[in-house]
Structure 1
Amino acid sequence: MAPELFTLPGLGWAITPYGLAVAVALVTSWLVALILARRDKLPTEVLGTVFVLSAIFGLLVARAGYLLQQGQALELSHLRSLPAGGLAVFGGLFAALAVAAIGCRRFRVPTLAWLDCWAPAVALGGVIERVGAFFAGADFGMYVGPGDLGHVLSVTYPEGSPAFMLHTAAFPGLPGLTETSSAPVHPVQLYLAATCAVAFLVGLGLRRRRRFSGQAFLAVAAVFLLGRAVLFEPLRFDASPLALGPLRVQQVSGLGLLLVSAIAWRMLAARATARPGEARQWEGGPWTPRA
Structure 2
Amino acid sequence: MRPILFEIPGLGWPLQSYGVAMGLALLVAWFASLDRARTDGLPTDTLGTLFVVAAFAGIVGGRALWLLQHPGAGGLGDLISLPAGGLTVTGGILAALVVSALGCWRRGIDTFAWLDAVAPGFAIGLVIERIGAFLAGVEFGRYVAPGDLGYALHVTFPAGSPVHAFHQQLLKGLPTLSAEASAPVHPVQLYAALMGLGILAVAIAVRRRRRYPGQVALAVLAAFTIARLVIEDPLRFDASPTLWGPLRVGHVSALGLLAVLAIVARLRRAAALAAEAR
Please say if residues 58 and 92 of structure 1, whose CA atoms lie closer than 8 Å, have aligned partners that are also in contact.
yes
Equivalent-residue separation in structure 2 for 1:89 and 1:49 (angstroms): 22
Match of 2:119 in 1: 119
Q: How far apart are residue 120 of structure 1 and its match?
A: 1.6
Assess, with a 3 A threshold, how the Cα gap between structure 1 residues 24 and 164 changes in structure 2: closer, same or farther: same
Match of 1:38 in 2: 38
For each residue in 1:34-65, what CA deviation from the matched residue of structure 2 results, as whole angstroms up to 9, or x when unmatched? 00001111110100011000000110111122
Q: How far apart are residue 244 of structure 1 and its match?
A: 4.5
Match of 1:74 in 2: 75
Match of 2:190 in 1: 190
Name the % identity: 50
Equivalent-residue separation in structure 1 for 2:277 and 2:87 (angstroms): 40
Q: Kindly provide the amino acid, as one letter, of the partner of residue 275 in structure 1.
A: A
Match of 2:61 in 1: 61
Q: How far apart are residue 75 of structure 1 and its match?
A: 3.5
Equivalent-residue separation in structure 2 for 1:21 and 1:258 (angstroms): 29
For each residue in 1:176-230, what CA deviation from the matched residue of structure 2 results, as whole angstroms up to 9, or x when unmatched? 2122111110111111111121111211221111111111001101110000011
Equivalent-residue separation in structure 2 for 1:245 and 1:262 (angstroms): 27
Equivalent-residue separation in structure 2 for 1:58 and 1:170 (angstroms): 32
SS in 2 for 1:148: coil
Please say if residues 222 and 258 of structure 1, whose CA atoms lie closer than 8 Å, have aligned partners that are also in contact.
yes
Please say if residues 104 and 110 of structure 2, whose CA atoms lie closer than 8 Å, have aligned partners that are also in contact.
yes
Query: Are 1:168 and 2:165 matched, yes or no?
Result: no
For each residue in 1:88-146, what CA deviation from the matched residue of structure 2 results, as whole angstroms up to 9, or x when unmatched? 11011100000000111111110000010112211110110011001111011111111
- After TM superposition, the score normalised by the length of structure 2 is 0.93
Could you list the runs of 5+ residues in structure 1 that have no partner in the other structure?
8-12, 279-291
Q: How far apart are residue 6 of structure 1 and its match?
A: 5.6
Assess, with a 3 A threshold, how the Cα gap between structure 1 residues 2 and 241 changes in structure 2: closer, same or farther: closer
Equivalent-residue separation in structure 1 for 2:240 and 2:209 (angstroms): 38
Equivalent-residue separation in structure 1 for 2:80 and 2:155 (angstroms): 31
Please say if residues 34 and 44 of structure 1, whose CA atoms lie closer than 8 Å, have aligned partners that are also in contact.
yes
Equivalent-residue separation in structure 2 for 1:269 and 1:86 (angstroms): 38
SS in 2 for 1:159: coil
Over the residues paired in the alignment, what is the CA RMSD in angstroms?
Answer: 1.8
Q: How far apart are residue 2 of structure 1 and its match?
A: 3.9
Matches within 5 A, 1:248-259: 248-259=248-259
Assess, with a 3 A threshold, how the Cα gap between structure 1 residues 82 and 14 changes in structure 2: closer, same or farther: farther
Equivalent-residue separation in structure 2 for 1:6 and 1:63 (angstroms): 26
Q: How far apart are residue 15 of structure 1 and its match?
A: 4.5
Q: How far apart are residue 277 of structure 1 and its match?
A: 8.2
